[in-house]
Amino acid sequence: MHKKINAALISVFYKDGLETLVQTLHQHQIHIYTTGGTQQFIEQLGIPCIPVESVTDYPSILGGRVKTLHPKIFGGILGRRNLAQDIEEMKQFQIPEIDLVIVDLYPFEETLAQTNEENLIIEKIDIGGPSMIRAAAKNFKDVTVLASKDDYAQLNKLIIDQVGCTTLAQRKQFASKAFEVVMHYDIAISNYFNTQTTSLRYGENPHQQARFIGNLAQLFTQLHGKELSYNNLVDADAAFQLLNEFKETDSQFFGIIKHTNVCGAALRASGIDAWNAALAGDPESAFGGVLVCNGPINKEIAQAIHEIFFEVLIAPDFDAEALEILTQKKNRILLKNLQSHGLIKNEKSIFNGTLIQDADQGNYLAWQEVGGRECHESEKHDLIFANILCKHLKSNAIALVKNQQLIGKGCGQTSRIDALKQAIEKASQFQFDLQGAVLASDAFFPFDDCVTIAHHQGITAFIQPGGSIRDQDSIKYCKENQLAMVITGMRHFKH
């Protein structure tokens, strides 16, 4: 239902864009209650406003820490207009009805980015602002709330078009945005208190500033090397995510990460064999990579690894002889991982907000054999391994595996067929025989071209999520050529 705005409370840190909205409120005869700097701003516009002190009979105290935290302010925001008892109490205690709350928050994150001085950071933790925003959002049936200057123009238009009124749906939408603003603000503060903030030399590139918020000491101990860079941390995180896939295997796993993509990986009975096989998969891309394994590093493995240049090595343990060898390079980063690192949620900053999703956990929902024959036992093991590795490649992605070794991969391509051609070219570059190899795809085959090309190279089994309206094209080709194909029902896009 439409509700007329008769009184507004405005208390903002940033005044950008506020002038037009305040003038519109005044033109619609909406009373304005306000505080401190906002009061001065509005008065300079020649618009009358009511200081909250005249409502509360209390001045701003404790250096401005307490201004609006008063029953007359919160009663005016939280009072339920359809509840007789609330209306009676508001009259009894002379509490004015507040129909619109426009509040932004102290710039906590901006301050955190500019200084490490604790006193300055603490003073930018807003108390009254979040409280008023939450109160107004809770009472959205009666109160409109704006928690961001980005919404000034929208509200200004609504007030003009709807003659000073808002609808219930509009108020609920504003409330939803307000709770998101407060949630993001509280998380930033919680991160500051519960984690460590580390300034990094620079970001992804030298001209970008960067910092890390978190407690790396919970995950690993740095035994040697230079300070971890932004790119080191990004690749190390990708390595930890990959390692988490093999925490329950009895085999020794070695993986090589470059720009968050798996460029070498193998499962073997011994650590040295796993390393040699992982490196052989793409010794060129391994240069400057991040290495990760699920077993201890001994002298033999250390001697082999020492021969190449790498940025980071992650392992559950290092023996003394291995450390003596590996620490000969002063900048080489050695990390002893203390626990598995499996994300529950993924977050990504986009536009003026944050995308949050469940982490990509699991590898297949079903194991549906749809080809011309069932997988051989060795093929099944290779398909499972390939599917895991493909999950850790940027889309569009193809992984080629033979004997539990990554022998070709295509990633970050704009078409699946290009990813396949890249994978085949990589395998050929290092003289791998694709006869009897298997192929994993992070998403469905839209046509049968990938299966056809792969088959002509000697690949005999495929694993993919399915879901294309033309799934039958690839399935039919596999049936006609006695090729194995597994549909998993689980896509693994990675952007």
pLDDT in tens, 291-334: 999 999 999 999 999 999 999 999 999 999 999 999 999 999 99
Q: In angstroms, rounded to a whole number, what is the distance separating the alpha carbons of residues 142 and 38?
A: 24
Query: 100-128 burial by CB neighbour count: b if 16+ within 10 A, else e?
Result: bbbbbbbebbebbeeeeeeeebeebbbeb
Report yes or no: 310 and 302 within 8 Å, Cβ to Cβ. Answer: no
pLDDT per residue as tens digits for the range 63-122: 766 666 788 888 989 998 888 998 888 899 888 999 999 998 888 888 887 887 888 888
pLDDT, averaged across the chain: 91
Instruction: Examine the pLDDT at 160 and tell me if it is beyond 80.
Output: yes
pLDDT band at 188 (very low <50, low <70, confident <90, very high): confident
CB under 8 Å to 347, separation ≥6 — which residues?
Answer: 354, 355, 356
Instruction: Determine the pLDDT at residue 61.
Output: 67
Helix (H) or strand (E) holding 382: helix 377-391
Instruction: Determine the pLDDT at residue 116.
Output: 78
Report yes or no: 451 and 478 within 8 Å, Cβ to Cβ. Answer: yes
Neighbours of 205 (CB within 10 A): 9
Instruction: Examine the pLDDT at 54 and tell me if it is beyond 90.
Output: no
Residue, of 191 and 196, whose pLDDT is higher: 191
Distances in Å between the Cα of 251 and the Cα atoms of 107, 247, 303, 469 are: 51, 10, 21, 39
Instruction: Determine the pLDDT at residue 238.
Output: 94
Instruction: Examine the pLDDT at 58 and tell me if it is beyond 80.
Output: no
Burial class of 7 by CB neighbour count within 10 A (0 to 12, 13 to 18, 19+): middle
Taking CB atoms within 8 Å and a gap of at least 24, the contacts of 350-356 are 352/150, 353/180, 354/184
Strand order in the sheet with 398-401: 368-369, 484-487, 461-464, 438-441, 398-401, 406-410
Instruction: Determine the pLDDT at residue 110.
Output: 84
Q: Which residues pair with 461 in a beta bridge?
A: 438, 484
Report yes or no: 464 and 446 within 8 Å, Cβ to Cβ. Answer: no
Is 0.85 surpassed by the pTM of this model? no
pLDDT band at 194 (very low <50, low <70, confident <90, very high): confident
Instruction: Examine the pLDDT at 25 and tell me if it is beyond 90.
Output: yes
**Residues annotated as part of the active site:** 138, 259
In three-state secondary structure terms, 451 is helix
Residues 313, 319, 325, 329, Cα dihedral to 10°: 40
Instruction: Determine the pLDDT at residue 229.
Output: 93
HEC assignment per residue over 32-87: EEECHHHHHHHHHCCCCCEECHHHHCCCCECCCCECCCCHHHHHHHHCCCCCHHHH
pLDDT per residue as tens digits for the range 163-175: 999 999 999 999 9
Percent of the chain with pLDDT over 70: 97
Instruction: Determine the pLDDT at residue 93.
Output: 85
Q: Cis link prior to 396 (omega < 30° from 0)?
A: yes
Instruction: Examine the pLDDT at 57 and tell me if it is beyond 80.
Output: no
pLDDT per residue as tens digits for the range 393-438: 999 999 999 999 999 999 999 999 999 999 999 999 999 999 999 9
- Parallel/antiparallel/unpaired status of strands 144-146 and 100-103: parallel
Q: Is 34 left (phi over 0), alpha (psi -120 to 50) or beta?
A: beta
Please name the amino acid found at residue 72.
Answer: K
| DSSP states along 350-361 | ETTEEEEEE---
Tokens of 221: 């101990």
For 245-325, list the strands marked E by DSSP.
252-258, 261-268, 289-293, 310-315
Q: How far is CA 285 from the centre of its chain?
A: 27
Helix (H) or strand (E) holding 98: none
Neighbours of 341 (CB within 10 A): 18
Residue, of 160 and 58, whose pLDDT is higher: 160
Highest mean pLDDT pick, 16-20, 185-189, 196-200, 484-488: 484-488
Instruction: Examine the pLDDT at 339 and tell me if it is beyond 90.
Output: no
Residues 347, 399, 264, 280, Cα dihedral to 10°: -170
Report yes or no: 455 and 483 within 8 Å, Cβ to Cβ. Answer: yes
